[in-house]
Amino acid sequence: GAEDNYSEAVDHTIIGIEPGAGISVTTEKAIEEYDNLKGWDVELSSTGAMMSELGTAIQNEEPIIITGWNPHWMFAQYPDMKYLKDPQGIYGGEETLNSLARIGFEEDNPDAYKFIDQFEWEVEDMEEIMYEAEETGEDIEDISAQWVEDNQDRVDTWAEGVNDSNGAEIKLASTPWDSERASSGVLKAAMEQHGFQVTVTDVDVAVVFESVASGDADATLAAWLPVTHKDFYEKQKDNLIDLGPNLEGAKIGLVVPEYMDIDSIEDLEP
Ligand code: PBE
């Protein structure tokens, strides 16, 4: 019925995040590919602005369509939300967070390379850090360092067969989202236990790929594949080494509150 015309209610606008994010690029593609989204806009600003619009909408039980992803605390804070089905598969299925290294890094520093190659953890680990940062307001780097101390058995498996360093400087490129601040923070603290000196630089997704490809950065943990960062990856894949997933079971898509009576992107009226 007319009361269910969510498309008009949201002014044919999807609430997005930072313009440089993979999920923003993917949402522009969804708008091109779905006939019923023709002429729609994606409002790009910041993750913080999106989360605050989401909070207001939920408080007033108003319709809203956001770009959502896991791992993130949004589903812990607002459990009554759902991913819209994506029959065209624009947002993919399961995403993995991959580690990438610059060409030549293994030869230059085999121990650091091995450490980064052996780094892997679970969605629940990452979420533990993200939730705590969100709840306490404490710095995510500090919480990540504490996580390393509290999970020393796990952390030690990443260092198996690695010779301790005498202060080798390792440059990690990362992105400014909590997920990557957590992973980079954990790896930094873990590697520093073994004498490496790790610098983490938060940049745009495009710059992450460019800096690993050009050799300005040694490695990154921040590649969301195969879909979210596809364009960036395709452009640079011959100029970097893909070390494979450091985390499995990630996801991106369009997300709405449960009180919206639709299940699929295709249910949205043009
Ligand atoms: N994200 C979180 C990022 C990567 C990490 C899904 C918002 C993106 O590029 O879209």
For residue 60, pLDDT over 90 is answered with yes
How many whole angstroms from 195 Cα to the centroid of ligand 1? Answer: 31
For residue 3, pLDDT over 80 is answered with no
Q: Are strands 240-257 and 95-102 parallel, antiparallel or unpaired?
A: antiparallel
How many whole angstroms from 205 Cα to the centroid of ligand 1? Answer: 8
Distance CA 217, CA 213 (A): 8
Answer whether the bond into residue 79 is a cis peptide, omega within 30°: no
Coil, strand, or helix at residue 156?
helix
| % of the chain beyond a pLDDT of 70 | 99
How many whole angstroms from 21 Cα to the centroid of ligand 1? Answer: 6
**Among the listed residues 215, 64, 62, 211, the one whose alpha carbon sits nearest the alpha carbon of residue 223:** 211
Q: Are strands 13-15 and 41-43 parallel, antiparallel or unpaired?
A: parallel
For residue 108, pLDDT over 60 is answered with yes
Top mutation candidate among 28, 175, 203, 204 for ligand 1, by most atoms within 8 Å of CB: 175
For residue 2, pLDDT over 70 is answered with no
Q: Given this model, what pLDDT does residue 1 score?
A: 46
Instruction: Give 172-214 pLDDT, tens digit per residue.
Output: 999 999 999 999 999 999 999 999 999 999 999 999 999 999 9
CB neighbours of residue 65 within 10 Å: 28
Q: Given this model, what pLDDT does residue 149 score?
A: 98
Instruction: Tell me which residues have their CB closer than 6 angstroms to ligand 1.
Output: 17, 21-23, 69, 175, 177, 179, 205, 224, 228, 252
**pTM exceeds 0.80:** yes
Contact 36, 8 (CB under 8 A): no
| Shortest-distance atom of ligand 1 to CA 67 | 7
**Domains of the chain in sequence order:** 2-90+252-267 (3.40.190.100), 95-250 (3.10.105.10)
Residue 64: band (very low, low, confident or very high) from pLDDT cuts 50, 70, 90: very high
Top mutation candidate among 15, 17, 23 for ligand 1, by most atoms within 8 Å of CB: 23
For the chain, give percent helix, strand, coil, nearest 5: 45, 25, 30
Q: Given this model, what pLDDT does residue 139 score?
A: 96
